[in-house]
Structure 1
Amino acid sequence: MVDAVDTTTLEKLAHLNELEPAALEQLAKKTLKLPMKAGTKVQAGDQSRWMLYLVEGKLSLFSEGQPQVIEAFSRRAHQPIFGASRLKEYAVALSQCQVLRVDRNLFDTLSRQQSEAGYEIEETTLSDVESELFSTLYQRIVTGQLALPALPEVATKIQSAINDTQIDAARLSRIVLMDMAVTGGLIKAANSALYGGAAPVHNVRDAIVRLGFSATRQLVISIAMKQVFKTSVRGLQRRMLELWDRSVRVSALSYVLARHGTRFDPEHALLAGLLHQVGMVPLLDYLGHHHPHMEDREIDAILQRLHPVMGELVVNDWGLGPDLSTVVREVNQYERNGNSPPDYCDVVLVAHLYALTHNRRGQPVTDVPRYDQVPAYTKLGLKPPNEEMKLDLFEEAEQEIRQVMDMLKGPSPA
């Protein structure tokens, strides 16, 4: 049996007691109290996603071969059972025990949001009406009351399958075949010039063999993502489609930037670009259902300020990794990390600003810096733009950009 957990239990534990009440309440909703029979062995490497705390009973912790007995309610029991980087540790229950299982990614997200002044409500420049709505939405986010979109089933299954050391192309192909749109997109990718497809492939298994397992995983998630960018609110369907179109464009540009260097995985950059504003999806859906008459200007203000915090929760809920969390959290921080090595957020940031500069509507963008004047641009080692403020890299890769966009959503002008 799995018991619910209240905040009074969490606020006594190291690290967790640093969270404010609203954040602690959200964490409690995702925390489980699990029973352990005497003799049960738990390996740290299998629990790396979680922070485990002993709250009842007694267990023996083995670290570097040395046993240490931990009893509930002791000072040591207020600390996580396993250290974050000690994956070779294991513990054995010496009696009937109960262990709290805390989502590490969610804790990191809530802790970071609490410490970053950029999310402080009183520092925003919204109108009174917008500020009130912002406050309501923010509280719904940090208390877990705003529903997160679900990762498409085919993407969830491919995530689990790739972690299996016994996986093979035949089993992966059966998963991909669950979704016909993903099936077609994957075969199209394998036959494109992007992957050197000289002889055409006609089935999913051969496509997976050509692409490799890692690229297959990234592409399956990316192609399936179109299912996420949807709303049942008729008045916002156009907005959601525009959000998807922008995301696909930034995704294709990110892919090309990653291929230009040697540091990055192009498929991972593609997924990062596709998700850089994914936090807008649940926000739009909420606003459409609860504030159907809100003006576009107000919607834009709320989306711009809240999509990073919302997007980080979505990406963490899907288990897509810390680098993608960084992308959605920091893609609007144009002066970020000026002295650190380039990362995927730098790639997406430049792609995002480039897409804004050369948006298809031809409208001038005045509230963001030029894409070639941010630290990320210099860190990526890119050449100066031409007289039309375009990059030769993108001009020369126009066909490649079209192919990526076509793979994600069907034929579309670059």
Structure 2
Amino acid sequence: MSEIVVHPTPEILKRFHPLDQLNDIQLELLGRSIQIHSAGRGLKILEQGDITPFSLYLIKGKLRLLSTDGRVTEILDDSPQAQSPIANLIPRRYTVEAMSPTDYLVIENSLLEGLLNDDEGFTATELGSDSQIIDPILAESRMTQVLLDDLNTNRLVLPSLPDVAVRVGRAMRDETTNARKLANIVQTDPAITTKLVRAANSPLYAGVTPVDSCAAAIVRLGADTTHKLVLTFALRELFNTHSSVLKEQMRRLWEHSVKVSAISYVLAKISGRFNAEHALLAGLLHDIGNVAILSYAENYTEVANDNEKLAQVMHDLRGPIGSEILRSWGFIDDLILVTEEAENWLREHGGEGDYADLVIVSQLHTYIGSDEMKHLPTLDQVPAVKRLNLGELTPKLSLKILDKAEEKIARAKQMLTA
């Protein structure tokens, strides 16, 4: 006996976002193209790490989502979270399991995108201004979905790399570029010029006599270090927001990035295996995806005003959005990997320690002695520590390392924030 195929009605489809953006004809066509699936209690519907491009919608029942860090979320069919796709980020960050007899939909993303693009579609700005969004959980879900939609359709609003950094990067690719040419570019930004001269005269790079010009600073630092420091100094202006509500979030994000950057710089010096300025830049960039997320949050006041909901969106999307930003800027793969893996505390790979490992360990050092450390693995559980060959680190030994390097960390932080 063949299985009876049940198709969803337009009324069922209208319950979900972004299907609610389709017109009646599109809903009818979609309904005929898909079917309602059923799962018994305990059945796994979706595996963590799956990369199949489809969207999962819960019609009836209860689901349990288990994240990569062990966090469990339960979703009922009548909850606000069920109005949007379940575990939609690819590769999947959750294992999805039925906690009761469950009915659900599986819709290929290409089919859905074709229908959405057939009409005028929707934008993040339009959805973000929806006056009907009053529930923070629903707002979080909507914001996450819009970010994913914009990311998958190349509509994501990405921050632009400051002009002086772009021009210096372009000049670095020209074999005829010398210190004078670089200085002419850097000097178009007086703030960065001042920071570069200060850096060259700081104890981190100082020579016998102080330098008093941009060109002299570049000669002392070298072209590669100059390039990385210009990038580092230019990034500061991106950590900004028009929203008074989000200013504190952006300030904390900048301070965290600076601290991780400074510790990455010092650990790179201690290990002797990494370029310290590249480590400095890696630490500053590891959360760059959150800059874009906070910009989107300006349109979702319910999320912006709820630290827990905002933190959840940032936890889920900081990696893929950060990597997309760095790809758009033309950054090299090891920095892109940092944005993707910076919070993968138990990351395993077969090679030697890399900059992602360095940033993972640096981040954990910033949390030592704080409440956050209670929810994170200990240093002896983190594979990155062994790959960096920093010795048998424990919180106590790490504090000794930080105490010993306190002056260098303070100097690196001062260089970034001057």
Alignment of 1:69-84 (within 5 A): none
Q: Which has the larger radius of gyration?
A: 2
Q: Render the CA deviation track for 1:374-414: whole Å, top value 9, x for unaligned.
A: 0011111113446746343322221111111111112xxxx
Superposed displacement of residue 139, structure 1: 1.4
Within the candidate set 402, 409, 412, 2:417 is matched to: 409
Matched, 1:151 2:126: no
Opposite residue 117 of structure 1, the aligned amino acid is: R
CA distance in 1: counterparts of 2:346 and 2:246, whole angstroms: 32
Within the candidate set 339, 344, 368, 1:357 is matched to: 368
Opposite residue 293 of structure 2, the aligned amino acid is: L
Superposed displacement of residue 340, structure 1: 2.0
Matched, 1:297 2:297: no
Matched, 1:392 2:400: yes
Which structure 1 segments of 5+ residues have no match?
1-17, 23-112
CA distance in 2: counterparts of 1:19 and 1:390, whole angstroms: 42
Within the candidate set 301, 311, 322, 1:311 is matched to: 322
CA distance in 2: counterparts of 1:287 and 1:115, whole angstroms: 21
Partner of 1:205: 215
Opposite residue 116 of structure 1, the aligned amino acid is: P
Opposite residue 391 of structure 2, the aligned amino acid is: K
Q: Say whether the 8 Å CA contact 1:338–1:376 is kept in structure 2.
A: no
Q: Say whether the 8 Å CA contact 2:187–2:214 is kept in structure 1.
A: yes
SS of equivalent to 1:149: coil
Question: Residue 276 and residue 245 in structure 1: after superposition, are their counterparts in 2 closer, same or farther (change >3 A)?
Answer: same
Moved over 4 A (4+): 18-22, 120-123, 126-129
CA distance in 1: counterparts of 2:250 and 2:330, whole angstroms: 24
CA distance in 1: counterparts of 2:234 and 2:157, whole angstroms: 20
CA distance in 1: counterparts of 2:95 and 2:378, whole angstroms: 28
Q: Say whether the 8 Å CA contact 1:256–1:394 is kept in structure 2.
A: no
Within the candidate set 249, 252, 261, 1:251 is matched to: 261
Superposed displacement of residue 363, structure 1: 3.4
TM-score norm. by structure 1 comes to 0.67
Superposed displacement of residue 150, structure 1: 0.4
CA distance in 2: counterparts of 1:396 and 1:260, whole angstroms: 11
Opposite residue 392 of structure 1, the aligned amino acid is: K
Q: Say whether the 8 Å CA contact 1:181–1:224 is kept in structure 2.
A: no
Partner of 2:250: 240
Question: Residue 143 and residue 122 in structure 1: after superposition, are their counterparts in 2 closer, same or farther (change >3 A)?
Answer: farther
Number of equivalences: 297
CA distance in 1: counterparts of 2:281 and 2:96, whole angstroms: 33
Partner of 2:344: 333
Superposed displacement of residue 115, structure 1: 6.1
SS of equivalent to 1:366: helix
SS of equivalent to 1:319: coil
Q: Render the CA deviation track for 1:174-218: whole Å, top value 9, x for unaligned.
A: 111111221111111111221242211111111100010010000
Within the candidate set 91, 99, 111, 1:116 is matched to: 91
Q: Say whether the 8 Å CA contact 2:261–2:284 is kept in structure 1.
A: yes
Partner of 1:375: 383
CA distance in 1: counterparts of 2:348 and 2:328, whole angstroms: 26
TM-score norm. by structure 2 comes to 0.66
Greater Cα offset, 277-286 or 188-197: 188-197
Partner of 1:74: none
Matched, 1:260 2:263: no
CA distance in 1: counterparts of 2:202 and 2:137, whole angstroms: 49
Percentage of matched positions with identical amino acids: 34
Superposed displacement of residue 136, structure 1: 2.7
CA RMSD of aligned residues (A): 2.5
SS of equivalent to 1:279: helix
Q: Say whether the 8 Å CA contact 2:379–2:393 is kept in structure 1.
A: no
Partner of 1:33: none
Partner of 2:182: 172
Partner of 1:77: none
Q: Render the CA deviation track for 1:351-382: whole Å, top value 9, x for unaligned.
A: 01111224xxx434322212343001111111
Which structure 2 segments of 5+ residues have no match?
1-50, 56-87, 98-135
Question: Residue 299 and residue 121 in structure 1: after superposition, are their counterparts in 2 closer, same or farther (change >3 A)?
Answer: farther
Matched, 1:276 2:276: no
Superposed displacement of residue 332, structure 1: 1.3
Q: Say whether the 8 Å CA contact 2:282–2:355 is kept in structure 1.
A: yes
Opposite residue 183 of structure 2, the aligned amino acid is: S
CA distance in 2: counterparts of 1:290 and 1:130, whole angstroms: 8
CA distance in 1: counterparts of 2:92 and 2:290, whole angstroms: 21
Matched, 1:138 2:148: yes
Q: Say whether the 8 Å CA contact 1:385–1:392 is kept in structure 2.
A: no
CA distance in 2: counterparts of 1:278 and 1:343, whole angstroms: 19
Opposite residue 150 of structure 2, the aligned amino acid is: R
Q: Say whether the 8 Å CA contact 1:190–1:211 is kept in structure 2.
A: yes
Q: Say whether the 8 Å CA contact 1:384–1:391 is kept in structure 2.
A: no
